[in-house]
Each structure stands twice: as C-alpha cells, then as structure tokens.
Structure 1
C-alpha cells in the first residue's frame, strides 16, 4: 500500500473535523495510525473553543504559511521482540535523523525463530525511537516516530 502526503493531510483534516480519536488505515502489510492528542491544550487538532475559550482574540490563520511537519508512528504488525538491526549487522537499520521511504525496512520483530519485517507506510525522517532493541512489543505498538516532510518540500521535487 502506498500512502502519499496529500492523502495523509486529507486524513488529518477529516480526523480534526470529527469526534474520532484514532484513525487507522492500512492493508495486511502496512498501517498508518493517526491519533488525536487530546491531553494537551494547544494540540494541533484542537480549536480555541475546544480549550474552553471562545476563539475571540485569536489571530487568523495565514493561508500562505507552510504547515509544520507532522509526526506519524510506525507500528509493529505482530507481537515479538523488537530488533533495530539484522542479525550479525553492526549498524541499526534506521537512527534518529535517518530518511525513510514508503515500504522501507525499519526493523524486525523476532517471534521465536522467525524474523518478521517492520516497514514504514509513509516517507519521513526518524524523529524518535520509541522502543529499545530487545524489548517485547505488542501488536500495533508504536516503535518509532517519523516527521513527515512539509507539502512544499515534496512539491519542489521533479
């Protein structure tokens, strides 16, 4: 499954304009999960009215401003032990700051003697490693967080 940035932006807008807290989209191999951050005032999915204010005195949104990069999580497709590198490989598959493309292998899950691939459903840059190597992870547990590129960054490419 290929998910491009305009599709992700559309899903984020739909999530923001609904009462849905978590939106998952995927197939049998990849998954994109968008989740509202309802615990923090000023969350990008909350309006001033949601925060108890009337919205009066809030500066208008500049339609020409570039959107900030959006964080997205890569999740485990199965239960297993998280491995950040292939056996006998000295370097991790990705690290903070690594550029990740759609479908790229970002880690492995070890379930008994079987190694299961964990692939990214979106392109981006690794912002946070959420799971340490060797830790048991659950199905759909986030293992790393990506910063997606801004729309302008993708539009300038040939």
Structure 2
C-alpha cells in the first residue's frame, strides 16, 4: 500500500460513519480511529506498527519486555526526572523499567529478567499496543 492509497483510505474512513478501521496485508498493518467528537475534517488518528513489533529476536540471550496493555509509555517517574533505565544499564528481576498510563492509571512495568539493557524501542510518551516490544535485555 503506497502513501496515496493510505491517504485515500483515510479520507474515505473520515467521511464515513465508521469510528475505527483495521487493515492487514501480510506484515503490513494499518489502524485508523476517529477521535471522539471528530467532525470528519482533517486527518484521522493513524497508527502503523513497525514490522519489528511482530518479529522475534533470533538471539537466545536477548529477552524482550513487552507491553502488557495499550496506553502511553513513560520512561521516567516525572517529566524532568531521570529515565528508569538507559541502554547499557544493568537490571534485576522486579526492577521498574517504565510506566504505562492506561485509563488515568499509572502501571509500573517491571523487568522479568536479570541482564543489561540492549535496546529501548519506544520513546517517552509513545502510544504502545498490547504485546509491543518495549525493551530488549541481554540476559546474563
């Protein structure tokens, strides 16, 4: 699906009575959702998960902390606070690695592994999906 086709699809969904639309073709997935009170003018909310979200790492010493819910990811306790973890940090089982806000509730995300942070695949304030990889940890 090219950019022009995506824009046509957005316009078609925006001008209809649909509030949500999902499209999947192989590894490509597209989700359109109209905001509450959306008048049909301007673009709808578009979320396009990366291919990485559904791809398992081949390295057996690399473990993934996945999002247990849909919400907003926060890397620190406060806006100006230090991030819970950074690439290269050593973590222990049960250590808080981030927070996901869902329905105005702050849910601490804890590490299920002892190891070293290899990669953080989300940014502060990113919307995350259920099962989306958040943090890759090289287990010891």
Q: TM-score, normalised by structure 2?
A: 0.56
Question: Is 1:71 equivalent to 2:62 in the alignment?
Answer: yes
Structure 2: runs of 5 or more not aligned: 1-55
Task: Please give the per-residue CA displacement for 1:15-66, whole angstroms capped at 9, x wherever unaligned.
Answer: xxxxxxxxxxxxxxxxxxxx464xxxxxx68xxxxxxxxxxxxxxxxxxxxx
Question: Is 1:109 equivalent to 2:86 in the alignment?
Answer: no
Distance 2:57 2:88 in 1: 24
| Residue of structure 1 equivalent to 2:123 | 132
Q: Which runs of 4+ in 1 moved over 6 A?
A: none
Question: Is 1:122 equivalent to 2:107 in the alignment?
Answer: no
Distance 1:72 1:135 in 2: 21
Task: Please give the per-residue CA displacement for 1:95-130, whole angstroms capped at 9, x wherever unaligned.
Answer: 001111011110000113210111111111000011
| Residue of structure 1 equivalent to 2:136 | 145
Distance 1:145 1:36 in 2: 9
Distance 1:127 1:90 in 2: 21
Distance 1:135 1:103 in 2: 23
Structure 1: runs of 5 or more not aligned: 1-34, 38-43, 46-69, 150-158
- Name the SS for the 1:97 alignment partner: coil
Aligned-residue CA RMSD (Å): 2.1
Aligned length: 86
Task: Please give the per-residue CA displacement for 1:63-109, whole angstroms capped at 9, x wherever unaligned.
Answer: xxxxxxx1111111111101000125520000001111011110000
Distance 2:121 2:66 in 1: 10
Q: TM-score, normalised by structure 1?
A: 0.50
Whichever structure has more strand as a proportion of its residues is: 2
